[in-house]
């Protein structure tokens, strides 16, 4: 069960998501982007860049509302970064959540101390090994799926919200429904594989819920959480976890890194054994949890969020609160903090050189200089793209230079092969190019028309009017000096300062039509002669024919009139 994907009906094959995905977890099939669960780390980068806002994120909001309607106790575990969003209204959030239907509201940070203590053990090991904090679920996914060789470097400890979920189940009963509210999409996937958190909603989803409810945040008074821990409220800021681990002194160097690009560089360096005796606090999101993938897209900057969080933490510290209570109380539950990380890698199949070259050739890359490595398709190099095509997660026509060349070639074929006369004329009314059909019509040698003024072949005033008045001519019938007849269309392209001229030579059709008209006129003249002769006979034997002669004349006259009207002959 995966928590993110794309709406096929809205995908426009722009490949923005493919380009931004740090682990090539998006495949393209029939022009449609699809997330590969086995490779996805749920970092949320693709949802940020999709111009169609096409990312489908599974929401558990309806499930949470059902919990609230039921007889179960519903407990909210709120990530400490909440105050970065709500600013001056942060102290109203406990009351807000109670109004929405939660029975108990605690801050996730109450679970932090035992985990920090575990990290300190690894920070003070006498070995020369490197270790990585396991706070960030997207980072844990990244290592297990794409860096399994260094999964042993992950500190084998559960994340704070999973730990807090277990605490809440012990505290309020195993039947209680625990809902985590936080800044991270990856926690949705993490909670699915654990049994301590029943649902996860992001801060973005919470804000939408508030907006759709009848609860007005500004009208609420301040209330306390059922449990909080004021000494660790800044843990959402990058580097603060490292500061808590360092305390006074650690045997290992401790480095905090945020952002997927820098984190991947660190993982590469660890895998290549370029570091020793270091503990890393790695965050997939730039600016850590304050830049999380589940944060509202409200345009608020990281620095504004950081100031909000710091100000809130200061105001809470001023309260007379026994901050040692959560740590001592939760230890009594004797909850196991251990976590076993797995090798979840799904490596791509590696084609041999011959297979790569065959795929490159199919993309128009016949020599090294053709490999532009432009990255438009989402892959760093053309060869990397070829490997993706081999694994059926990319398509040949994702290569923009190749498709452009293909389109240009097709355009050239159409331009050269069509029986229509086609010309491109510049703003000075000089010919840019005539196609072969036009050159043949005007008896011009191939390429000799380029740069010649259009007046040499067609009426210049017509083209000038189209350009000046920006009024196109559609299917106008003209006759040239050599009695040849054309149906022409003239279009002014403002953005290119170019006139397109397209014409059909209908001279033969016109000649055939004239012959047909002549035959019809001749037939009518013959009919007139019949009438005249009939009248002459009628006059001679009028006594015999009587009224019959008149009727014959009327009938033939009607026939003549009918033919004339039908053919438009005057």
- Res 478 pLDDT > 60: yes
Which of 32-36, 138-142, 515-519, 527-531 is the least confident region?
A: 527-531
Same domain, 120 and 187: yes
**pLDDT value at position 528?**
65
In whole angstroms, what is the distance from residue 285 CA to residue 263 CA?
9
- 9 falls within a domain: yes
Averaged pLDDT, 232-251? 89
Q: Which residue has the higher pLDDT, 520 or 175?
A: 175
With both helix axes pointing from N to C terminus, report the angle between 203-212 and 93-100 in degrees, rounded to the nearest 10. Answer: 60
Please report whether residue 391 resides in a domain: no
- Is residue 230 a contact partner of residue 314, using CB atoms and an 8 Å limit? no
Question: Looking at residue 87, what is its pLDDT?
Answer: 94
Overall average pLDDT of the 110-119 stretch:
93
Per the domain annotation, does 422 fall within a domain?
yes
Same domain? For 123 and 8 the reply is no
> Band of the pLDDT at 517, cuts 50, 70, 90?
low
Phi first, then psi: what are they for 276, rounded to 5°? Answer: -145, 150
Average pLDDT over residues 165-180: 96
Would you give the end-to-end CA distance of the chain in angstroms? 80
167-181, 362-376, 502-516: which has the highest mean pLDDT?
A: 167-181
Residue 544 sits in which domain range? 520-567
Q: Which residue has the higher pLDDT, 481 or 235?
A: 235
- Among 96-105, 402-411, 500-509, the least confident range: 402-411
Q: Which residues lie below 8 Å from residue 318, measured CB to CB, with a gap of 6+?
A: none
CATH of the domain at 475: 3.30.450.20
Which tens digit of pLDDT belongs to each residue from 453-471? 999 999 999 999 999 998 8
Of 58, 82, 100, which one is at a domain's C-terminal end? 58
- CA–CA distance, 276 with 128 (Å, rounded to integer): 6
Number of DSSP helices (H) and strands (E) in the chain, helices first: 22, 16
Note whether residue 514 is domain-resident: no
Distance CA 379, CA 383 (A): 9
Virtual CA dihedral for 392, 394, 397, 399, nearest 10 degrees?
-140
Within 8 A by CB and 6+ apart from 250, the residues are 120, 123, 124, 279
Q: Which residue has the higher pLDDT, 537 or 127?
A: 127
Q: Give the percent of the chain with pLDDT over 70.
A: 85
- 499 plus 528 within the same structural domain: no
Please check whether residues 32 and 79 belong to one and the same domain: no
Cα 160 to chain centroid distance, Å, stands at: 33
Residues 160 and 232 in one domain: yes
In this structure, the answer to whether residues 187 and 261 fall within a common structural domain is yes
> With bands split at pLDDT 50, 70 and 90, how would you rate the model's confidence at 317?
confident
Q: How many domains is the chain built from?
A: 4
Query: Which residues is 453 bridged to in the sheet?
Result: 430
Give the residue from 37, 58, 79 where a domain finishes.
58
247 in the same domain as 121: yes
Kindly tell me if the per-residue pLDDT of 407 is higher than 80: no
In a domain, 50, yes or no: yes
- The reply to whether 456 and 317 lie within a common domain is no
3-class SS at 71? Answer: coil
DSSP state of 221: P
pLDDT score, position 332: 73
User: Which stretch of DSSP H or E encloses residue 504?
Assistant: strand 498-505
Here the tokens at position 550 are: 């008149």
pLDDT of residue 559: 59
The verdict on 108 and 159 lying in the same domain is yes
Read off the pLDDT band of 247 (50, 70, 90): confident
pLDDT at res. 201: 96
Of 181-190, 323-332, 548-557, give the range with the top mean pLDDT: 181-190
Contact 164, 77 (CB under 8 A): yes
Verify that 196 and 323 share a domain, yes or no.
yes
Domain ends where: 331, 358, 378?
A: 331
The whole-number pLDDT of residue 193 equals 86
CATH classification of the domain holding 9? 3.30.70.20
CATH number for position 262: 3.40.50.1780
Over residues 263-274, mean pLDDT: 98
> Would you state the pLDDT for residue 412?
73
Q: Is 4 helix (H, G, I), strand (E, B) or coil?
A: strand
pLDDT at 38: 94
Confidence grade of residue 256 (pLDDT, cut at 50, 70, 90): very high
Q: What is the pLDDT of residues 81-96, one digit of tens each?
A: 999 999 999 999 999 9
- The answer to whether residues 297 and 276 belong to one domain is yes
Mean pLDDT of the chain: 87
What is the model's pLDDT at position 555? Answer: 61
Mean pLDDT for the stretch of residues 291-306: 93
Based on the fold, state whether residues 34 and 178 are members of the same structural domain. Answer: no
Instruction: Write the DSSP symbol of residue 494.
Output: T
Whether 20 and 45 have beta carbons less than 8 Å apart is answered as yes
Q: Is the pLDDT of residue 449 over 90?
A: no
Looking at residue 191, what is its pLDDT? Answer: 92
Q: Shortest CA distance to 291 belongs to which of 253, 350, 339, 236?
A: 236
Range among 147-161, 285-299, 483-497 rated most confident: 147-161
Instruction: Classify each residue of 336-360 as buried b or exposed e, where b means 16 or more C-beta atoms within 10 Å of its C-beta.
Output: eeebebeeeeeeeeebeeeebeebb
Within a domain: 398? no
At residue 33, the pLDDT reads 87
Mean pLDDT, rounded, for 430-451: 89
Per the domain annotation, does 222 fall within a domain?
yes
For residues 243-259, give the mean pLDDT. Answer: 91
**d(Cα 188, Cα 60) in Å, to the nearest integer?**
9
Q: Which of 307-321, 332-346, 493-507 has the lowest mean pLDDT?
A: 307-321
Mean pLDDT of 202-210: 95
Q: Is residue 221 part of a domain?
A: yes
Tell me what the mean pLDDT of segment 527-537 comes to: 63
């Amino acid at each position: 069960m995966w928590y993110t994907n794309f709406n096929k009906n809205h995908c426009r094959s722009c490949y923005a998501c493919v380009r931004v995905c740090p682990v090539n977890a998006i495949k393209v099939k029939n022009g449609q982007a699809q997330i590969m669960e086995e490779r996805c780390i749920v970092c949320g980068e693709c949802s940020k860049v999709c111009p169609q806002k096409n990312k489908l994120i599974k929401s558990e909001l309806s499930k949470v509302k059902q919990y609230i309607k039921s007889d179960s106790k519903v407990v909210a575990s709120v990530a400490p970064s909440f105050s970065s969003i709500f600013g001056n209204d942060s102290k109203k959030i406990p009351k807000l959540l109670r109004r929405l239907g939660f029975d108990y509201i605690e801050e996730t940070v109450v679970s932090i101390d035992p985990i920090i203590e575990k990290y300190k053990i690894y920070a003070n090991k006498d070995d020369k090994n490197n270790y990585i904090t396991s706070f960030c679920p997207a980072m844990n996914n990244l290592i297990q799926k794409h860096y399994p060789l260094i999964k042993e470097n992950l500190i084998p400890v559960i994340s704070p919200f999973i730990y807090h979920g277990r605490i809440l189940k012990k505290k309020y009963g195993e039947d209680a429904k625990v809902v985590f509210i936080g800044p991270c999409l990856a926690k949705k996937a993490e909670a699915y594989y654990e049994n301590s958190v029943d649902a996860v909603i992001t801060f973005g989803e919470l804000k939408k819920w508030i907006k759709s409810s009848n609860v007005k945040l500004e009208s609420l008074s301040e209330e306390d959480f059922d449990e909080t821990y004021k000494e660790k409220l800044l843990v959402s800021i990058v580097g603060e976890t490292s500061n808590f681990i360092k305390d006074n002194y650690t045997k290992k160097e401790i480095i905090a890194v945020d952002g997927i690009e820098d984190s991947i560089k660190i993982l590469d360096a660890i895998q290549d054994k370029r570091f020793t005796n270091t503990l890393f606090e790695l965050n997939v999101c730039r600016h850590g949890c304050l830049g999380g993938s589940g944060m509202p897209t409200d345009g608020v900057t990281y620095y504004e969020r950081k100031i909000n969080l710091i100000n809130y933490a200061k105001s809470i510290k001023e309260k007379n609160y026994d901050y040692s209570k959560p740590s001592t109380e939760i230890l009594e539950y004797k909850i196991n903090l251990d976590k076993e990380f797995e090798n979840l890698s799904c490596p791509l199949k590696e084609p041999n050189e011959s297979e790569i070259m065959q795929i490159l050739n199919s993309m128009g890359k016949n020599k090294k200089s053709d490999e532009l490595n432009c990255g438009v398709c989402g892959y760093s190099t053309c060869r990397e793209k070829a490997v993706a095509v081999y694994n059926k997660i990319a398509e040949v026509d994702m290569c923009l230079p190749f498709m452009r060349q293909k389109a240009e070639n097709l355009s050239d074929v159409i331009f050269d092969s069509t029986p229509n006369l086609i010309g491109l004329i510049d703003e000075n009314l000089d010919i840019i190019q005539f196609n072969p059909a036009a050159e043949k019509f005007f008896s011009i040698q191939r390429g000799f028309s380029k740069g010649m003024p259009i007046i040499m072949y067609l009426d210049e005033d017509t083209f000038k009017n189209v350009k000046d008045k920006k009024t196109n001519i559609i299917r106008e019938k003209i006759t040239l000096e050599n009695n040849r007849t054309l149906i022409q269309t003239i279009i002014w392209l403002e953005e290119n300062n170019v006139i397109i001229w397209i014409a059909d030579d209908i001279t033969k059709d016109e000649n055939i039509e004239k012959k047909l008209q002549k035959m019809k006129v001749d037939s009518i003249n013959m009919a007139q002669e019949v009438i005249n002769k009939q009248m002459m006979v009628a006059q001679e034997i009028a006594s015999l024919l009587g009224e019959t002669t008149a009727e014959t004349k009327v009938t033939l006259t009607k026939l003549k009139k009918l033919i004339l009207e039908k053919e438009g002959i005057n």
